[in-house]
Structure 1
Amino acid sequence: MNKLKRTVIRKRVLLPLFAIVLVLVLFNARWLSLIYPIEYRDEIRAHASNYEVDPYLIASIIRVETNYQPSMESKKGALGLMQLMPDTATWAMEKAHLKDVTLDSVKHDVEPNIELGSWYINNLMQQFGGNEVAVIAAYNAGPGKVKNWIKNGQWDGTLEDAKDIPYGETRHYVQRVLYYYKQYTKLYDRF
């Protein structure tokens, strides 16, 4: 067999074999979990369960808000891992009767931040009748604004019409949170 024929045979055999191995490696859940990690799983799981909120939703919001970097403060003053605004955090602490949680702990500590954020998401779920898309929008823009958009017919609260969300930042936020939600639910069988 001449050298040219061996080269052609190698390419016909090795190239598809290499492609199969590459696909298996790249689309393996363990490999993809390095690209889409979920940190603070125990805290998210505990508070999601306590407040009856989807843990993947909490993880997706955290990913978009801070990429799991605690102690962050936004230019607008949002605090900690879940980027809660101080007024919202203070209101939520009073409503949830979380006496041991302070604004300082919400800003600097993972546990109280996730607890308060989970409580707040549960509250939004109640306000929006379980509509997760509207909840995500309200988490970003505020529930009053989202209620007005829906009431005034600017947006119907659905994913299909998310293009009608009046704020570009909120529209993009909803899309990003739902993107990570989809990735997490595909990658992780259970939380």
Structure 2
Amino acid sequence: MRALAFLALVLSPALACGYIPQDLWGRTWRYAQAWGLDPYLVAAVVWVESRYCPGAVGKAGEVGLGQFMPGTWRRTTGAPPEWRGHPDWALWATAKHLRELYYATGGDWYKALAAYNAGFGAVRVGAIPASTHRYVKRVLSLYRAWRGRG
């Protein structure tokens, strides 16, 4: 029985897809607060990015809960790219990167979320794709719903 409980605890992040297990929610909360962010916002980003699937891989090669590209991962964490799929590293890096983008965009959450999706360069030059506007609206809509304001 103990071995089964341990196995469930170890495997639960790997089995999360389309729901947020309690352990991943706890990690999201911890890393969001560590970076001074609202955990519901970080969770909304992770949900839209990967639906909380630690093994998610995007079409362009983005990986993990936060769907990081190798270059962004390296700049944000300094950690090896293979760690992008590790839930703790991915949630910590997602919160850190969001905070960095928030400050880089002058405290504008819309622009910070757009930069998370399309890259800071696209936001800086005002070339935000329509798909990114839809992405930001999805994140903010989910965030407001989870916060009870939507």
What interval of TM-score do these two structures reach, taking the shorter chain for normalisation? 0.7 to 0.9
CA distance in 2, matches of 1:75, 1:104: 17
The residue number in structure 1 matching 2:144 is 182
**CA deviations over 1:77-113 (Å, ceiling 9, x no partner):** 111011011110011113xxxxxx4321212x11100
**CA deviations over 1:124-168 (Å, ceiling 9, x no partner):** 01101221111111100101110110xxxx7xxxxxxxxxxx412
Show structure 2 runs of 5+ residues with no match.
1-17
TM-score, structure 1 normalization: 0.64
The answer on 1:46 being equivalent to 2:8 is no
Within the candidate set 113, 128, 134, 1:172 is matched to 134
**CA deviations over 1:39-60 (Å, ceiling 9, x no partner):** 4111111111111122111100
Map of 1:115-126 to 2, 5 A cutoff?
A: 115-126=92-103
Map of 1:36-115 to 2, 5 A cutoff?
A: 38-39=20-21, 40-94=24-78, 101-107=79-85, 109-115=86-92
Max radius of gyration: which structure?
1
Alignment RMSD: 1.8
TM-score, structure 2 normalization: 0.80
Show structure 1 runs of 5+ residues with no match.
1-35, 95-100, 155-165
Q: CA deviation at 1:172?
A: 0.7
CA distance in 2, matches of 1:47, 1:172: 26
Q: How many residues align?
A: 130
- Are the counterparts in 1 of residues 114 and 123 from structure 2 also a CA contact under 8 Å? yes
- Are the counterparts in 1 of residues 19 and 51 from structure 2 also a CA contact under 8 Å? no
CA distance in 1, matches of 2:60, 2:119: 14
3-state SS of 1:70 partner: coil
The residue number in structure 1 matching 2:4 is none
CA distance in 2, matches of 1:44, 1:185: 15
Q: CA deviation at 1:37?
A: 5.5
Identity level (%)? 28
